[in-house]
Structure 1
Amino acid sequence: MGYRYKIIVAPFLKVSGMALFPFILVNNKSLLTDAILINHERIHLKQQAELLVIPFYVLYLINYLINIAKYRNHDKAYLNIVFEREAYAKDADPGYLKCRKMYSWFRYF
């Protein structure tokens, strides 16, 4: 991936995992070995890095707000965020980040 990341167990987290550059947060110690979840969050770290972090969060929020207006449903809005679409589509592929092209999330619009 080009850089190291640290995984932090955060029991207060309301979701299983979250990428908060340069960290991956998980809400339970047992998730430290969940390869798909960790890969999903690593994909988000790559997205964040290529957008220089802050623009990633801005675009993520804008995309979510557009989706919530469109779908009127949190789960659908979340799952249709372009960054989530890429991460969910590729999280089961452990080699994805080695061959991933920059801005690959863009094709999920």
Structure 2
Amino acid sequence: MIITSKYLVPKGYAAMAIFPFIFVHDQNMRDNKTLINHERIHLRQQVELLILPFYLWYVTEYLINRLRYKDAKKAYRNISFEREAYGNEADLDYLANRRLWSFLKYLHSEQ
């Protein structure tokens, strides 16, 4: 389910996935197939990690990256979940072919 809310999406972001919803900053973004695919990849990641562990892993990885890179944007872009989503957002068939735990292959490489 896609919900439009300029208040729930953090400033500087177009959308955010919080199972089972995708929040978009404005109505026009609902039709952006690449953006929605990116967020659907996150929903799949959340389900396969049973929701709560996904968020704990995400925040932990961000904090480790923040210490490592000393840069918020670089820390965010190098979270394995984000690397998988950004790397495959344009492939609208990605989720149909994606293997379980695919984000793991993005853990040790850097963007």
Give the TM-score category using the shorter length: over 0.9
Distance 1:65 1:75 in 2: 12
TM-score by length of 1: 0.94
Match of 2:89 among 91, 98, 105: 91
Residue aligned with 1:57, SS: helix
Give the number of aligned pairs: 104
User: After TM superposition, where is structure 1 displaced by more than 4 Å over at least 4 residues in a row?
Assistant: none
Q: Distance in 2 between matches of 1:102 and 1:90?
A: 15
Aligned: 1:72 with 2:70: yes
Structure 1 unmatched runs, 5+: 1-5
Q: RMSD of the alignment, in Å?
A: 0.5
Structure 2 unmatched runs, 5+: none
Q: CA deviation at 1:57?
A: 0.2
AA in 1 matched with 2:55:
Y
The CA deviation at 1:87 is: 0.2
% identical aligned pairs: 49
TM-score (norm 2): 0.92
Question: 2 CA distance for matches of 1:74 and 1:11?
Answer: 22
Q: Quote the Cα distance in structure 2 between the aligned partners of 1:36 and 1:48.
A: 19
Match of 1:25 in 2: 23
